[in-house]
């Protein structure tokens, strides 16, 4: 009888080609995603006179630099010449290397970590890489997915393999029933607030427990997306029927007898009873509230009913120093209620919270209400934008005075020019809030789509549960 193994162990063991004494292993990579930022690796490959070794296992998408307005004009809609060059360079590198490319005008275009699952390229049991740290997202379908640097990406493009040290494993168990308006985003912000941004360094996180199993696939993708923000090498969730139903019929998912074979293998993947993790952390889902960040790190997050902490009360000197700097940058005072924080802008989108469920949640809050602040929605993919329009969600956003934009990374990293002006605060559904993430001097508060929509309606941080329990403005509905 074999020893009980974790989901991660099973994927790792079945992908190791050779191991060196000391722990380095050569791992086979099943799927590799590239985007505009992958030009360094393509350039290094070309310099050596090589081309992509397994073009059919490589998938490219334009997302980081694409404009979110004026998209009917294609690449010309990008005002910045460098952005236009980046988008064209990806197209050219894909043409030379015969790689599938979901370009700016392709109906399959979207944010790389949204379209991978959406097209069925992401599947349980696979090793998946991309030159982007939020590749951890794909682990929600039971894959081992992680971000790479440029030299690692070049190695993968050249060989479809990668030398890696075996990471440790951290199990995060979240049990209990979630309260109203408490989402995957709130779970993962609460985890990061608890263990810190270095809490999972060197580990692959497996999220487990009844609250995780109760999430939709979209909610699980949000949780795994932010595993990297806890320092994790990757985030994973055991695949189950929800995942198989999600994948069935998608463009790149197996079909016919191949589907039956794949399903039989996927069912063997979940962690065995008695399997050992290097560490385990637990969280009680019943205690969770909608969360948001007040500072400049995802660990500086609190329930919406909370108050800005006084750095003097923080025991850890590093945390204290960071909190002091964060308060100065965010222009906030200790003791202030989070709900007193004024909000100037809002952004709904990104690979964290740009999926259909996120758009529905925000629209449910905005229906019959108006945004008091400039705000926009950038759906996670072009296909999702079409789906939302078929459901009439875009009408709700437009009626609320919220811009309905095209798909891309947009104001998550703001590389396409969708920046937040210096000194202004943005309620953002993205994943990072460090200084300048959304533009020089921009102040970012991370939260769920429903919470961001509630902030739009009031112009300040608002407990969405209270907003939804109050009557709609007269004449609306
Ligand atoms: S949405 Fe943000 S985190 Fe996601 S791939 Fe784009 S820039 Fe990276």
Please say whether the beta carbons of 416 and 439 come within 8 A.
Answer: no
**Range 291-469 has CATH code 1.10.150.120:** no
- C-beta of 412 in contact with ligand 1 (< 6 A): yes
Q: How far is the CA of 244 from the centre of ligand 1 (A)?
A: 25
Residue owning the nearest CA to atom 4 of ligand 1: 351
Is the per-residue pLDDT at 435 higher than 60?
yes
Residue of 35, 111, 384, 429 with the most ligand 1 atoms within 8 Å of its CB, for mutation: 111
- C-beta of 64 in contact with ligand 1 (< 6 A): yes
Is the per-residue pLDDT at 475 higher than 80?
no
pLDDT tens-digit readout, 24-57: 999 999 999 999 999 999 999 999 999 999 999 9
Q: How many CB atoms lie within 10 A of CB 99?
A: 22
Helix or strand holding residue 7 (H, E): helix 7-15
- C-beta of 351 in contact with ligand 1 (< 6 A): yes
Residue of 86, 114, 351, 434 with the most ligand 1 atoms within 8 Å of its CB, for mutation: 351
pLDDT tens-digit readout, 380-406: 999 999 999 999 999 999 999 999 999
**Range 7-280 has CATH code 3.30.499.10:** yes
Alpha-helical segments (H) within 226-255? 241-247
Q: What is the pLDDT of residue 472?
A: 81
Delimiting residues of CATH 3.30.499.10 domain(s) in the chain: 7-280, 291-469
pLDDT tens-digit readout, 52-104: 999 999 999 999 999 999 999 999 999 999 999 999 999 999 999 999 999 99
How many whole angstroms separate alpha carbon 330 and alpha carbon 402?
25
How many whole angstroms separate alpha carbon 351 and alpha carbon 374?
21
Q: How many CB atoms lie within 10 A of CB 409?
A: 30
pLDDT tens-digit readout, 284-307: 999 999 999 999 999 999 999 999
- C-beta of 132 in contact with ligand 1 (< 6 A): yes
Q: How far is the CA of 383 from the centre of ligand 1 (A)?
A: 18
- C-beta of 413 in contact with ligand 1 (< 6 A): yes
Q: How many CB atoms lie within 10 A of CB 24?
A: 13
Q: How far is the CA of 350 from the centre of ligand 1 (A)?
A: 6
């Amino acid at each position: 009888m074999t020893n009980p193994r974790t989901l991660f162990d099973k994927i790792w063991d079945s992908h190791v080609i050779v191991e060196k004494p000391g722990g380095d292993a050569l791992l086979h990579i099943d799927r590799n995603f590239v985007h505009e930022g992958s030009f360094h690796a393509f350039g290094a490959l070309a310099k050596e006179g090589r081309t992509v070794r397994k073009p059919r296992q490589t998938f490219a998408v334009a997302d980081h630099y694409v404009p979110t307005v004026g998209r009917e004009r294609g690449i010309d809609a990008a005002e910045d010449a460098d952005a236009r060059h980046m988008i064209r360079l990806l197209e050219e590198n894909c043409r030379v290397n015969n790689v599938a490319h979901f370009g700016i005008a392709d109906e399959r275009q979207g944010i790389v970590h949204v379209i991978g699952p959406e097209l069925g390229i992401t599947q349980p049991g696979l090793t998946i890489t991309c030159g982007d740290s939020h590749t951890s997202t794909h682990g929600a379908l039971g894959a081992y997915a992680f971000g790479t640097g440029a030299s690692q990406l070049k190695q993968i493009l050249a060989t479809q393999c990668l030398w890696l040290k075996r990471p440790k494993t951290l199990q995060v168990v979240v049990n209990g029933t979630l309260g109203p308006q408490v989402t995957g985003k709130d779970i993962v912000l609460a985890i990061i607030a608890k263990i810190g941004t270095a809490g999972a360094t060197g580990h692959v996180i497996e999220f487990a427990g009844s609250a995780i199993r109760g999430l939709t696939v979209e909610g699980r993708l949000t949780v795994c997306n932010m595993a990297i923000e806890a320092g994790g090498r990757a985030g994973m969730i055991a695949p189950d029927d929800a995942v198989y139903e999600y994948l069935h019929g998608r463009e790149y998912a197996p079909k016919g007898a191949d589907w039956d074979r794949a399903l039989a293998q996927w069912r063997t993947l979940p962690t065995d009873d008695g399997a050992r993790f290097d560490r385990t952390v637990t969280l009680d889902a019943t205690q969770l509230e909608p969360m948001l960040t007040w500072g400049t790190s995802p660990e500086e997050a609190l329930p919406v009913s909370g108050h800005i902490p006084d750095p003097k009360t923080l025991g850890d000197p590093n945390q204290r120093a960071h909190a002091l700097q964060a308060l100065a940058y965010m222009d906030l005072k200790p003791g202030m209620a989070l709900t007193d924080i004024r909000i100037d802008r809002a952004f709904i989108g990104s690979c964290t919270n740009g999926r259909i469920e996120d758009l529905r949640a925000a629209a449910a809050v905005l229906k019959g209400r108006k945004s008091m602040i400039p705000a926009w929605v950038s759906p996670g993919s072009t296909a999702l934008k079409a789906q939302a329009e078929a459901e009439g969600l875009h009408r709700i956003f437009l009626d609320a005075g919220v811009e309905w934009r095209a798909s891309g990374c947009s104001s998550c990293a703001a590389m396409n020019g969708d920046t937040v002006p210096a000194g202004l605060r943005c309620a953002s559904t993205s994943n990072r809030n460090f200084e300048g993430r959304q533009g020089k001097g921009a102040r970012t508060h991370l939260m769920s789509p429903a919470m961001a929509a509630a902030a739009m309606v009031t112009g300040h941080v608002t407990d969405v549960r209270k907003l939804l329990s109050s009557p709609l403005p007269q004449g609306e509905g």
